[in-house]
Amino acid sequence: MADKRVYLFREGSADMRDLLGGKGANLAEMTNIGLPVPPGFIITTEACRQYYAQKEQLPDGLMDSVRSAMSEIEGDIGRKFGDTENPLLASVRSGSKFSMPGMMDTVLNLGLNEETLKGLIRASGEPRFAWDARRRFVMMFSDIVLGISRSRFEAIFSACKEKRQVSQDTDLSAEDLQEVAGKFLALVRQETGRPFPEDPWEQLQLAVEAVFRSWYNRRAREYRRRESIPDDLGTAVSVQAMVYGNLGTDSGTGVAFTRDPSTGERTLYGEYLVNAQGEDVVAGIRTPLPLSELAATNPEVYKQFREIGERLERHYKNMMDLEFTIERGRLFMLQCRVGQRTGAAAVRIAVEMAGEGLISREDAVTRVSASHLNQLLHPRIDESYLAENGIEPIVEGLPASPGSAVGKAVFDADRASRMGAEGESVILIRDETNPDDVHGMLASQAILTARGGKTSHAAVVARGFGIPCVSGCETMKVDERSRMFDANGKIVREGAWVTVDGTTGRVYLDKIPLISPEVGGEFDTLLGWCDEFRRLGVRANADNPRDAKQALKFGCEGIGLCRTEHMFFEKDRLPIMQSMILAETDHDRELALQKLLAMQQQDFEELFVVMDGLPVTIRLIDPPLHEFLPAHEELLKQVVELRVAVKSLGADAIKEVLQEKERLLELIESMREVNPMLGLRGVRLSILIPGIVAMQTRAILQAAVRVKKRGVEVNPEIMIPLVAHVNELRTVRENLDKVAAEVVEEAEETVTYKFGTMIELPRACLTAQEIAQHAEFFSFGTNDLTQTTFGVSRDDAEGKFLAKYVELGVLPVNPFETLDTEGVGKLVRICVEDARRANPLLKFGICGEHGGDADSIAFFHSVGLDYVSCSPFRVPIARLAAAQAAIAERAETPVAAMQN
């Protein structure tokens, strides 16, 4: 068996995905459970790996195995490959272990040449059909195998349609198609200097090699890098006898899902095209019919198909995506796979299937991905704003991927990618998308296409990544060169703001306000199940009562990070903060601190009331003080201008203003820092200006006392940022405990609080054993920890080189999005182990942005943290990811693998 490189469908099964690819394994499975699948065979991924190991040479004897497999098929179907009477034609498709939509290539109708064409005409009695197959084959083969751009062929085809003054392909006659095919062949000879390969076996070998080669094309490599799929898996090749959906009006081809992939409703959902080949549906060239039409026109076939769908769903215990072809009234299954779905559908299907007893609750939880939930948490358009302002959409298309987004119109993928990397919100607008556009699609807030259905490339990719999409806006004329589109006479140019609603399919000009989502129903059910399974606690990062309420609604179990300085940035407080910083005497500083105290205390009281008894982790002041002062550059400009004015006008009135500004400028310049991220901030401030800690501690504890006296339970946790050395923590704690004791004594009320520190510098991780002895909790600040461990300033890197690094494959992912487990994670692990040994009662949390990232949460679970804390809108995702990590641990299976 070791040398077996070719498997007949009947020799394989669904669990052989590694060897046969997902597509091949499922064809084998369907064959073996007795479904009508055209016969075929699969060349293994192992053969592909050998092909690369031997410097792109097919393994010895491979084509011999292919020939003998082909003869088995010939026997099954009663046609012969290369036969001039009743020729067997084949489809050749790639298929890797993981689904890579649109990434690999397909050749249909392989085996056609001048001679077999005649046989096809004879056998089918349909010259038009045969010539159609011929022109399709020449174009696809030339594009994929010979590398001649498809657009060259399409231009010839369009010219022919124009000449005949028809709009549909089906309106062309056999003669027209024959003429087209002739021109195609001439183009091939002109481009390659050789005639089109006519030998079917040569065609087959070239096609197999082309599929192998496509494994390493740029699109495929980029997709794999993004999805963390290893490069060395290789692809299988499935070779299958063609059946024809384009043999007349009793033929057709379609795709379907066993449940609605948008809503999750339990209903067979799909579309089909009469008298067409599979590629026509996907390409979106003709607009397909809903499956209900098939039920009406051919109830027998429809019934058979529905039963197959139900059977496959029971068999796979999942919602399936099916491809079928009807050849002269006879149904064939061409593909089945687990269906992509929207977030709403994923949740509903998971919960309902668990309800139906088809899957367990654990299965249900693992069936929903973080990006599925993320879609549900997407904002939607404020309809009342539209109504009040009488705003109408400028175009409408198909609601291809739900959610709404606002962004600037951009007409090519490269620019979208670049602008997106720079932090701009963009909407990618294309006539239709293709795999070359994926990088731009991923960088966009939403995608808008003029052509293509709900299963078009744009729609599939967008849904997969949770990006809102409207496709098939047929009234919109996109001019990619002039960077604009024309919507019923209204011109929209690049850079204009556009709002896209992927849930309704409507597109609006300008920025329309969006509303945050509300969730419930199956969403709550599923998250309830998550809470049963997870071990990690989930808290939220919230600085004010509003965010805290939102987070509670999403099920947080406390606040893991309340950034007190955000309170100082508010409009009425900033001047007081500034006077504290600029104070020339201790007395002035104390006065300003007193004012801030009253305000902070009020803030904390409100927060404690909202959180009623849940822990609230309050981080003392963190940013450098110059962040609270006027911007240096602006002030400098003013001073220079005023100096010139004073010099030339000698105006005394201005002189005073100038002097005032000069004083401020001098002060700000004395506080400026070369690398503020590594400067006087965090605990360093607290040590140099102990009055701030004293004020903040007093505010927290006085608030706690007040609220407690009103009967509210309070659990404050005071957290010190940016500790590098244990002595910093010790110094601050002495100051803080003294103030706390004073407050308790004054109030004659006991309040307990926890004392802890953020762990956000490598040195804190490396000396955790010492620091642990002076803290009750650690909370990893993985943003700063990533910055210092990598030596990368996020502010500077994300716009400049991080995107390039990911693009070049220097880094697998942006480490600010998903935790770098090798480097930063190693520090986290060292820290947890050392600290726990020194202080077994210590609690560990994480409050960096990674706290809301599913992959990172799996890591945090594995190192044994106690909780993650993330932004309120990521709380549901954290609950899900934490549950999945716990389930995966029990099953000893990575989370990612469970979702495929």
User: Which residues are designated catalytic?
Assistant: 457, 847
- Alpha helices, H only, 748-894: 762-766, 768-771, 782-790, 794-797, 803-808, 824-838, 854-863, 875-891
Residue listed under structure tokens 């298309």: 397
240/767 with CB nearer a second copy:
767
Cα dist. 502→63, 94, 274, 405 in Å? 48, 31, 28, 8
Beta carbon of residue 680, minimum distance to a second copy (angstroms, whole number) = 5
773/793 with CB nearer a second copy:
793
680/898 with CB nearer a second copy:
680
Whole-angstrom distance, CA of residue 590 vs CA of residue 691: 8
Answer whether 79's CB lies under 8 Å from 46's CB. Answer: no
Strand bridging mode 90-96 / 235-241: antiparallel
Beta carbon of residue 663, minimum distance to a second copy (angstroms, whole number) = 14
Q: What tokens appear for 226 in the block?
A: 């993004």
The amino acid at residue 75 is G
The DSSP symbol for 503 reads T
Beta carbon of residue 452, minimum distance to a second copy (angstroms, whole number) = 9
Determine which helix (DSSP H) or strand (DSSP E) holds 448, and give its type and residue range: strand 446-449
Q: Which residues contact 629 (CB under 8 A, 6 or more apart)?
A: 578, 581, 582, 664, 667, 668, 671
Cα dist. 669→550, 629, 640, 689, 795 in Å? 40, 11, 15, 19, 21
Beta carbon of residue 636, minimum distance to a second copy (angstroms, whole number) = 7
Strand partners, 559: 540, 616
Whole-angstrom distance, CA of residue 704 vs CA of residue 721: 21
Answer whether 350's CB lies under 8 Å from 344's CB. Answer: no
74/431 with CB nearer a second copy:
431
757/884 with CB nearer a second copy:
757
Closest among 536, 521, 630 to 575, alpha carbons compared: 630
Burial string for 103-119 (b: 16+ CB within 10 Å, else e) reads: bbbbbbbbbbbeebbeb
Name the 3-class secondary structure at 53: helix
Beta carbon of residue 565, minimum distance to a second copy (angstroms, whole number) = 18
633/652 with CB nearer a second copy:
633
Strand partners, 236: 95
18/770 with CB nearer a second copy:
770
Q: Which residues contact 21 (CB under 8 A, 6 or more apart)?
A: 42, 45, 94, 95, 96, 97, 235, 236, 238
DSSP string, 736-759: HHHHHHHHHHHHT-----EEEEEE
- Residues contributing to the site for a second copy (CB under 8 A): 633, 636-637, 640-641, 644-645, 648, 673-680, 684, 687-688, 722, 724-725, 727-728, 731, 760-763, 766-767, 784, 787-793, 795-797, 800-801, 804-805, 808-811, 820, 822-824, 826-827
Q: What is the SS3 string spanning 671-714?
A: HCCCCHHHCCCCHHHHHHCHHHHHHHHHHHHHHHHHHHHCCCCC
Q: Which residues contact 307 (CB under 8 A, 6 or more apart)?
A: none
Beta carbon of residue 786, minimum distance to a second copy (angstroms, whole number) = 9
Cα dist. 404→136, 381, 456, 463, 790 in Å? 38, 6, 19, 13, 35
569/801 with CB nearer a second copy:
801
Beta carbon of residue 761, minimum distance to a second copy (angstroms, whole number) = 4
Determine which helix (DSSP H) or strand (DSSP E) holds 50, and give its type and residue range: helix 45-53
Beta carbon of residue 688, minimum distance to a second copy (angstroms, whole number) = 6
35/765 with CB nearer a second copy:
765
Beta carbon of residue 227, minimum distance to a second copy (angstroms, whole number) = 18
